[in-house]
Amino acid sequence: MTEVEHVTCDSPVNIAVIKYWGKRDEKLILPLNSSISVTLNQDELRARTTVAISRHFKEDKMWLNGREQSMKSERLQSVIAQIKRICRKRKMDCDQLEEKLQWKLHICSENNFPTAAGLASSAAGYACLVYAMSKLYGVDGDISKIARQGSGSACRSLYGGFVLWNKGESVDGEDSRAEQIAPETHWPDLRILILVVSDQTKHTGSTVGMQTSVETSELLQQRIQTVPDRVEQMKQAILKKDFHTFAEITMKESNQLHAVCLDTYPPVSYLTDISHHIIQLVHAINQDNGSNMVAYSFDAGPNAFLFVQEKDVPIVSRVLCHFYPSSDPHFLRGLPMPEKTDYQVDYTTFSELKVIPKALKFIIHTKPGPEPSVKESCCELLASDGFPKVNSNDDKQS
Ligand code: DP6
C-alpha cells in the first residue's frame, strides 16, 4: 500500500436551459421542478480536483484555487459522509476498507477559468469532488443524488451533453437524480458564447435567492405548474435538434427565472444594464434573421450564455464585437472564432442600440462537452506528500 492514495478528476460546468429555482426540501436539496442543462466542454471550462487519503494525514484539509478553505460547510461534510456510507454499504466485511475510510482526507481543487469572471463553479466543483471520491473509494452506480446535496445543479454536471435532473417524488430524495437525454455528439454544431460582463457587484447567492423566492413569490408557484410542459417541449427540441424551438424555450426560461427574482420580496436582481442590452441585441439579431439565430440564458449573475449554431458564430461574434468593442488582445477566448470576411452586417437594423465599449471583459467560445473523467498522474494537484504542488509553502504542516 502506498503512503498516499489519490485520484485526480476533471468535471464540467453546466448551463440550465430549463432552470432550477426553488427547493421543496432545503436539507436534502430537492427541487420544486425538474430542470434541463447543457454540459459545457472542459477544454474551456472545468473544475479539477485531487482527493488523497493517507494514514499519515493529521486532519481533513481542503484547498480551493490555491487557498486553504474551512471544511466546516454542512453540505461538504454531508457529501463526504454519504460517499463513505455508500462505500461501507456496498463493500461490507472489509477491515482494510474500514481502516481507509478512517484516514484523513486532503482535497485540492482548481478551475481553469478566472474566478473573477463570476461564472458559477460550485456545480462543477461539487460534481468533481463527488466523482473523484467515488473513484478513490471504488463506489459505482448513481452518484448524482450525492452531488445534488453539495449543490443542486452539481448533479447535472455528472453527465455529458444534454441532461435532465428529475425532480423526483419521494421524500428521501432517492429518485431526484440526473440522467442524460443525449450525449454531446448528438448536436455537434451547437456552440455557446459566454459573455463575461464587466461587473464588480456582489450578487445574492442562488441558495439564498431561491429560498426567498419560495417564501415570497406567487409567480414561482405559478411557474412550477407550467415547467413540466416546458421540460417535455425542451426534450423534444433537443432530440430533434430544433434550434428555433430550443432557443425560444431557453430565452423564455431565462426571462421567467429573472421575472420570479423580481417578484421575490425584497426583489433579487441579477441582470445589469449590460445584460438587458445583450437581451435586446439578441432579439434584434433574431428579428433581422426572421427566425432564432441566437438564444440567451442568464443564471444568478449578469453574464450571458448565448447558444448559436456553428454556421452562425462568425456573424454573431462580429455583431458582438461591433457593439461591445474591446482592445484586449485576449477578448475572444476558447475555440477559434471562424473568420468570415465576406459577410456584411447592416447595422442600420440595430439603430436603437448603442455601442458600449468595454461592456464585456471577454467572450469564451465553447461547445457541449462530455462527463467528468479521471486524469493522468501528471495532472495531480497534490504532491506525493499530500500537500498542494503550487502555493504550498503557507499551507504545509511542520
Ligand atoms: C440559477 O445549484 O447553485 O443556476 O442547490 O442552493 O446550491 P443550490 O443552488 P444552485 O442553483 C443554481 C440555480 C441556477 C439555475 C440552474 O442552474 O438550474
> DSSP assignment of 339-355, as one string?
P-TT----GGGGTTSPP
Q: What is the pLDDT of residue 391?
A: 53
Please give the number of the atom of ligand 1 that sits closest to the Cα of 165: 18
Same domain (yes/no): 18, 128: yes
Same domain (yes/no): 121, 60: yes
Mutate to test the pocket of ligand 1, among 153, 167, 227 (most ligand atoms within 8 A of CB): 153
Cell of 112: 481553469
For 389, which DSSP code? S
Same domain (yes/no): 50, 122: yes
CA of 126 relative to ligand 1 center, distance in Å: 12
Q: 36: which strand partners?
A: 18, 164
Phi, psi values for residue 169, rounded to 5°: -120, -30
Please give the number of the atom of ligand 1 that sits closest to the Cα of 153: 2
Give yes or no for a contact between 62 and 107, defined as CB atoms under 8 angstroms apart: yes
Q: What is the CATH number of the domain that holds 79?
A: 3.30.230.10
Using 70 as the pLDDT threshold, list the residues of the chain that sit under it: 1-2, 91-94, 115-117, 120, 340-343, 390-398
Q: pLDDT tens digits, residue range 186-196?
A: 999 999 999 99
Same domain (yes/no): 178, 202: no
Q: Which residues contact 252 (CB under 8 A, 6 or more apart)?
A: 230
Same domain (yes/no): 158, 228: no
Cell of 117: 469572471
Residues with CB under 6 A from ligand 1: 16, 19-20, 29, 35, 120, 122-123, 151-153, 206-207, 299-300
Structural domain for 313, as ranges: 187-367
Same domain (yes/no): 24, 169: yes
How many structural domains are present in the chain?
2
Q: What is the pLDDT of residue 229?
A: 98
Dihedral of alpha carbons 220, 222, 225, 231, sign:
negative
Same domain (yes/no): 330, 398: no
Name the strand (E) or helix (H) holding 74: helix 74-90
Q: What is the CATH number of the domain that holds 293?
A: 3.30.70.890
Q: Is the overall model pTM greater than 0.75, yes or no?
A: yes
Please give the number of the atom of ligand 1 that sits closest to the Cα of 14: 17
Same domain (yes/no): 178, 324: no
Same domain (yes/no): 112, 27: yes
Same domain (yes/no): 326, 391: no
CA of 345 relative to ligand 1 center, distance in Å: 37
CA–CA separation, 134 vs 127, rounded Å?
11
Same domain (yes/no): 109, 221: no
Same domain (yes/no): 363, 378: no
Give yes or no for a contact between 384 and 56, defined as CB atoms under 8 angstroms apart: no
